[in-house]
């Protein structure tokens, strides 16, 4: 069933939304940390309370299924609560006080209204009130979210839950709103009232918007999470000891969520002569899987067919695709060698969204550094090695940190925990900044420092006053402390 | 005497420099924190030891005078030592360990080779081994500095001191180098081996390079410190109580270093009817001042004349400029009103590098928010108010944080202390990022996070190992600690 079309937000309504977001910015920034945390908890509570209404709409828009989507609502609510806790803890303010020269006190303050472009593969966790929105609200920034065109049923209902929860919790009007339409998306990125953009999606779409943001009279930060191949390297020792386990694990990870994860392992490097290609060919699932929507299905079929027909590859598992429904596809796996890859013309190392992967064979460990050099930036890179007698593995892991934001040992990249230490980002095109889009530190994207010089205590923000009533960690005269200042100024 | 021309770095030499910088990156990153701090201290020591040789060259290139330049060498050395101390302290690594889910450990790692474009107004402190270079080296990034064309005598000698000191202290070859020529500057910004750019200079020049950085196939961060007006607001109460003191302080600050500070107060807002314009007109210095070089003198004369002839302004102090030497100029001060400013066409609120300032009169406190709205982003904004009975002042200060990176109470913006709490940055065009270019936190610009998932202790970088032999502050399972981990993993 094709999704019903949603009308673009009309110009007058767009103006109202942007004016309200701009007006909300100082009011939201002026709320106490406790009040701001309360807003995040209110949204979390509302999402949980209305999951029964929202999940079927998300399923109708995405075919992801009720169990997975129910789990995703919980993850989204948990993420909001994590940020609430972090807001109150206060170390993200990076408060610093120096009293040796002129009294100088620095902290981070909100940037202003943020435009959020969510992804369709996680309708909740990376959607309208997903990680980017949670991080922006936690930082004290109003959010104008661009609705994903593939989620016409879910978007307005999801937005309404967020808007109502914020309103009930005392947020300024205009703290959150949604707009529809591709043209409105471009307008947002160039709108003088927008202070930053967060985007999750394709490299082509993200780059086009990033270029718009950079070309503004007053450029703004564009935080894009774009494409990633998430390479996995298997050492000779690991292939010898547990080749079958690795082959099975890889197939499970590359087809998880029908291969529609930004952390899907899209390329696997294996040593020749250990039978891993054959194992993968034999174990590969060929049953049909439903992709998010027809557009993704059509794009997958075209790209997977192009890659399978590339002169440098041979088929490992290339089942016939069914003609009936474009959004239903079967996994595709092809093989090549490091040598072929290095001399092939035409892109082979590109993200193909959906259940596709490339298995690359190396014949000599000495080929590995050259293989790493062929890679662009990635969200993740994984090494499968053995704990002892396998010196190749640690060296590979270290080399791969130059190409990825998260390096994984003997695991799989799919599955991104949300916490303090997470980093979901990497060298371009994985992301367009030196910041993460998941985890507590994602807040840093929507903040900028301000230093107060010789400002009287009563005029300072509470976070920087002598008393430190909020008990936040601060660096005072060089040393970290959560204490109040008693020494005379 | 015109400065001798310096030849552009030839293509072959440029290639050698970039290849060496790229090769140095992993070796520099692999040095221990103590070793890296040692490099910074070695450069600091060499600068002090060779100040007697370098200062006269800097003076010949800048006319800034031996006492000021001698102080600047000390400031530059002190800055390098501050970063050395910070490197060892380790909180800038933002080390985080989460063990509740899969073992996840995050820290910041160096971005790679950084191109540094220094400014000519502080030949040492913002020059080849100034704040940007010190921050990049502290972050573990090699630096390729673009020599300023106005400093042909100083540049190679200064670079040689840095290169020799780094070599003697055991830095990898290629850790620091200098290139000459405008075309080589553009090449640096688009060079695939360069991972970030730091720039201090004009808005026009900086924006052109920022656009190049954003248009690369793989865009890189461009940290530009461009133009700033540094507005100063005087409340009615402050004008009443200490108008004369403020007028004199303003004139001293706007003409300090012949007005060639990026923090020069270029616009002063004063209440009508307190005689401040007349005081300023009467007290303004008219004696000639020597600018950095002839090009700046010519640009100053043209821009000051354009602004003095603007139909919305009236002269406060507009002395005749001497014809003999273009680089010698007399301070220019003109006046207008908030009303005139708001309705004037043609730019009036623009940075004019040199001893020029605009004095803007307001007749009603209600005009102040509109006046703030006329401002673009600034490095600093200052309020002169009275400690009691002056509610306008705190409100103004809060409003001005939206337009500046450092807000100052009853002081002057010239003079930027180097420490933990400093923020030298602000909304565009003050800077092109949400980071500072001065102070310890300037290091963050040249770092990116990496998360290590389930990586064995021995394979982790020392900063993230259980033992924490380095004793750096880390966030472990949510709590800040410098302790080692003893709990079982």
pLDDT in tens, B347-393: 899 999 999 999 999 999 999 999 999 999 999 999 999 999 999 99
> Does residue B400 form part of some domain?
yes
- Written as six digits, the tokens of A253 are 């990870």
> Does residue B452 form part of some domain?
no
Are residue A351 and residue A210 in the same domain, yes or no?
Answer: no
Query: Is residue A340 flagged as an active site residue?
Result: no
Are residue B262 and residue B393 in the same domain, yes or no?
Answer: yes
Nearest CA to CA, how far is A311 from chain B (Å)? 26
> Does residue A454 form part of some domain?
no
Catalytic residue among A262, A277, A326, A463: A262
Give the three-state DSSP class for B134: helix
The C-alpha atoms of residue B226 and residue B127 are separated, in whole angstroms, by 15
Nearest CA to CA, how far is A3 from chain B (Å)? 35
- B422 and A98 in contact by Cβ < 8 A? yes
- Written as six digits, the tokens of A158 are 């999801």
Length of chain B: 489
Query: Is residue B277 flagged as an active site residue?
Result: no
Size of interface A-B (CB pairs under 8 A): 200
The C-alpha atoms of residue B329 and residue B300 are separated, in whole angstroms, by 8
Are residue A221 and residue A169 in the same domain, yes or no?
Answer: yes
Closest-CA residue of B relative to A450 is B405
Catalytic residue among B141, B262, B351, B463: B262
pLDDT for A152 equals 86
Catalytic residue among B72, B141, B225, B463: B225
Q: What is the pLDDT of residues A103-114, one digit of tens each?
A: 999 999 999 999
Closest-CA residue of A relative to B402 is A111
Are residue B48 and residue B76 in the same domain, yes or no?
Answer: yes
Are residue A58 and residue A177 in the same domain, yes or no?
Answer: yes
The C-alpha atoms of residue A40 and residue A81 are separated, in whole angstroms, by 6
Angle between helices B154-168 and B33-49 (to 10 degrees): 140
Mean pLDDT throughout A466-477?
95
* Residue A488 pLDDT level (bands cut at 50, 70, 90): very low
Closest-CA residue of A relative to B447 is A434
The C-alpha atoms of residue A269 and residue A340 are separated, in whole angstroms, by 13
Are residue A365 and residue A403 in the same domain, yes or no?
Answer: yes
Closest-CA residue of B relative to A224 is B219
The C-alpha atoms of residue B205 and residue A293 are separated, in whole angstroms, by 46
| Residues in A touching B220 (Cβ below 8 Å) | 428
Mean pLDDT throughout A372-400?
96
The C-alpha atoms of residue A413 and residue A153 are separated, in whole angstroms, by 31
**Strand ranges in A235-275 using DSSP code E only, listed in sequence order:** 267-271
Buried b / exposed e along A25-64 (16+ C-beta atoms within 10 A): bbebbebebeebbbbbbbbbbbbeebbeebbebbbebbeb
Are residue B109 and residue B23 in the same domain, yes or no?
Answer: yes
Nearest CA to CA, how far is A154 from chain B (Å)? 31
Mean pLDDT throughout A387-407?
95
Q: Which residues contact B176 (CB under 8 A, 6 or more apart)?
A: B129, B133, B137, B142, B143, B144, B145, B159, B162, B163, B166
Instruction: Select from A25, A225, A421 the residue whose CB has the most chain B CBs within 10 Å, as the one to mutate to test that interface.
Output: A421
| Residues in B touching A405 (Cβ below 8 Å) | 448-451
DSSP output for A357-396:
EEEEEESSGGGHHHHHHT---EEEEEEE--SSS-THHHHH
Are residue B181 and residue B147 in the same domain, yes or no?
Answer: yes
Are residue A222 and residue A236 in the same domain, yes or no?
Answer: no
pLDDT at B4 over 70: no
Residue range of the domain that includes B220:
11-226+434-446
The C-alpha atoms of residue A270 and residue A217 are separated, in whole angstroms, by 49
pLDDT for B489 equals 46
The Cα diameter of chain B in Å comes to: 79
Number of domains chain A contains? 2
| Residue B455 φ/ψ region, left for φ over 0, alpha for ψ in the -120 to 50 degree band, beta for the rest | beta
Closest-CA residue of B relative to A218 is B428
3-state helix, strand, coil in chain B (%, to 5): 40, 20, 40
pLDDT for B6 equals 78
- A407 and B452 in contact by Cβ < 8 A? yes
Map tokens 């066409």 to a residue: B345
| Residues in B touching A433 (Cβ below 8 Å) | 221
Instruction: Select from B107, B212, B453, B471 the residue whose CB has the most chain A CBs within 10 Å, as the one to mutate to test that interface.
Output: B453
> Does residue B4 form part of some domain?
no
pLDDT for A346 equals 74
| Residues in A touching B420 (Cβ below 8 Å) | 96, 98, 106, 475, 478
The secondary structure element, H or E, covering residue A150 is: none
The C-alpha atoms of residue A468 and residue A474 are separated, in whole angstroms, by 9
| Residues in B touching A402 (Cβ below 8 Å) | 26
* Residue A3 pLDDT level (bands cut at 50, 70, 90): low
| Residue B82 φ/ψ region, left for φ over 0, alpha for ψ in the -120 to 50 degree band, beta for the rest | alpha
pLDDT at A1 over 90: no
CB atoms inside a 10 Å sphere around CB B486: 7
> Does residue B58 form part of some domain?
yes
The C-alpha atoms of residue A177 and residue A168 are separated, in whole angstroms, by 15
- A104 and B419 in contact by Cβ < 8 A? yes
- Written as six digits, the tokens of A333 are 């796996």
Q: Are strands B96-98 and B474-476 parallel, antiparallel or unpaired?
A: parallel
Q: What is the pLDDT of residues A267-318, one digit of tens each?
A: 999 999 999 999 999 999 999 999 999 999 999 999 999 999 999 999 999 9
Bridge partners, B479 (sequence order): B476
Are residue A159 and residue A306 in the same domain, yes or no?
Answer: no
CATH number of the domain where residue A344 is located: 3.40.309.10
pLDDT for B314 equals 97
Are residue A62 and residue A155 in the same domain, yes or no?
Answer: yes
Instruction: Select from B210, B403, B428, B434 the residue whose CB has the most chain A CBs within 10 Å, as the one to mutate to test that interface.
Output: B434
Bridge partners, B314 (sequence order): B335
Question: What is the rounded end-to-end Cα distance, in angstroms, of chain A?
Answer: 70
> Does residue A421 form part of some domain?
no
Q: Is the ipTM of this complex over 0.85?
A: yes
DSSP state, B335? E
Torsion angle of the four alpha carbons A442, A448, A454, A457, in this order, in degrees rounded to the nearest 10: -50
- A411 and B102 in contact by Cβ < 8 A? yes
CATH number of the domain where residue B119 is located: 3.40.605.10
Q: What is the pLDDT of residues A314-360, one digit of tens each?
A: 999 999 999 889 999 999 999 999 999 999 877 899 999 999 999 99
Catalytic residue among A72, A141, A225, A463: A225
Are residue A169 and residue A43 in the same domain, yes or no?
Answer: yes
| C-alpha angle A18-A24-A27 in degrees, rounded to nearest 5 | 165
pLDDT at B5 over 80: no
Bridge partners, B196 (sequence order): B114
The secondary structure element, H or E, covering residue A82 is: helix A66-89
| Residues in B touching A422 (Cβ below 8 Å) | 98, 104, 106, 451
Instruction: Select from B449, B456, B477, B478 the residue whose CB has the most chain A CBs within 10 Å, as the one to mutate to test that interface.
Output: B449
Q: Are strands A104-110 and A447-453 parallel, antiparallel or unpaired?
A: antiparallel
* Residue B225 pLDDT level (bands cut at 50, 70, 90): very high
pLDDT for B394 equals 96
- B450 and A475 in contact by Cβ < 8 A? no
The C-alpha atoms of residue B177 and residue B185 are separated, in whole angstroms, by 13
> Does residue A345 form part of some domain?
yes
pLDDT at B488 over 50: no
Q: What is the pLDDT of residues B241-259, one digit of tens each?
A: 999 999 999 999 999 999 9
> Does residue B1 form part of some domain?
no
- A111 and B434 in contact by Cβ < 8 A? yes
- A214 and B218 in contact by Cβ < 8 A? no
Long-range CB contact pairs, A474-482, < 8 A, 24+ = A474/A95, A474/A96, A474/A97, A475/A95, A475/A96, A475/A97, A475/B91, A475/B420, A475/B421, A476/A96, A476/A97, A476/A99, A477/A97, A477/A98, A477/A99, A477/A100, A478/A98, A478/B420, A480/B91, A480/B473, A480/B480
The C-alpha atoms of residue B200 and residue B206 are separated, in whole angstroms, by 8
| Residues in B touching A465 (Cβ below 8 Å) | none
pLDDT for B1 equals 46
């Amino acid at each position: 069933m094709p999704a019903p079309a949603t009308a673009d937000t009309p110009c007058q309504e767009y103006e109202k939304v942007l004016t309200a977001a701009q007006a909300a910015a100082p009011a939201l920034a002026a709320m106490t940390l406790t009040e701001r945390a309360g807003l995040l908890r209110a949204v979390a509570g509302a999402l949980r309370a209305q999951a029964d209404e929202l999940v079927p709409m998300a399923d109708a828009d995405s075919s992801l299924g009720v169990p997975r989507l129910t789990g995703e609502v919980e993850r989204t609510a948990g993420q909001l609560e994590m940020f609430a806790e972090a807001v109150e803890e206060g170390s993200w303010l990076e408060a610093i006080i120096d009293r040796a020269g002129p009294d100088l006190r620095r902290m981070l303050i909100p940037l202003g209204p943020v435009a959020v472009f969510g992804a369709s593969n996680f309708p909740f966790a990376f959607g309208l009130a997903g990680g980017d929105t949670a991080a922006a609200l936690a930082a004290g920034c109003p959010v104008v979210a661009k609705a994903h065109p593939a989620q016409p049923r879910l978007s307005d209902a999801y937005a309404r839950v967020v808007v109502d929860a914020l309103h009930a919790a005392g947020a300024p009007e205009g703290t959150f709103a949604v707009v529809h339409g591709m043209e409105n998306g471009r307008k947002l990125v160039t709108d003088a009232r927008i202070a930053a953009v967060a985007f999750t999606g394709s490299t082509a779409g993200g780059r086009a918007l990033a270029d718009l943001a950079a070309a503004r009279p007053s450029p703004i930060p564009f935080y894009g999470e774009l494409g990633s191949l998430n390479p996995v390297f298997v050492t000779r020792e690991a292939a010898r000891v547990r080749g079958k386990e690795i082959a099975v694990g890889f197939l499970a990870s590359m087809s998880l969520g029908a291969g529609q994860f930004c952390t899907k392992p899209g390329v696997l490097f294996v040593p020749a002569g250990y039978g891993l290609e054959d194992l993968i060919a034999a174990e590969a699932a060929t049953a049909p899987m439903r992709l998010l929507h027809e557009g993704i299905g059509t794009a997958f079929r075209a790209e997977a067919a192009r890659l399978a027909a590339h002169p440098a590859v041979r088929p490992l598992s290339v089942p016939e695709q069914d003609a009936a429904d474009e959004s239903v596809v079967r996994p595709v796996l092809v093989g090549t060698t490091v040598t072929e890859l290095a001399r092939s013309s035409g892109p082979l190392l590109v993200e193909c969204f959906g259940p596709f992967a490339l298995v690359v064979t190396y014949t000599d460990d000495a080929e590995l550094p050259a293989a790493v050099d062929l890679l662009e930036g990635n969200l993740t890179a994984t090494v499968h090695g053995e704990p002892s007698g396998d010196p190749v593995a640690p060296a590979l892991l270290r080399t791969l940190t130059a190409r990825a934001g998260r390096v994984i040992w003997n695991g799989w990249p799919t599955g991104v925990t949300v916490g303090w230490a997470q980093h979901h980002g990497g060298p371009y095109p994985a992301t367009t900044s030196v910041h993460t889009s998941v985890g507590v530190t994602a807040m840093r994207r929507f903040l900028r420092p301000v230093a107060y010089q010789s400002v009287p205590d009563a005029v300072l923000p509470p976070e920087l006053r002598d008393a430190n009533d909020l008990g936040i960690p601060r660096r005072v005269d060089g040393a970290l402390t959560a204490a109040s200042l008693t020494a005379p100024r």
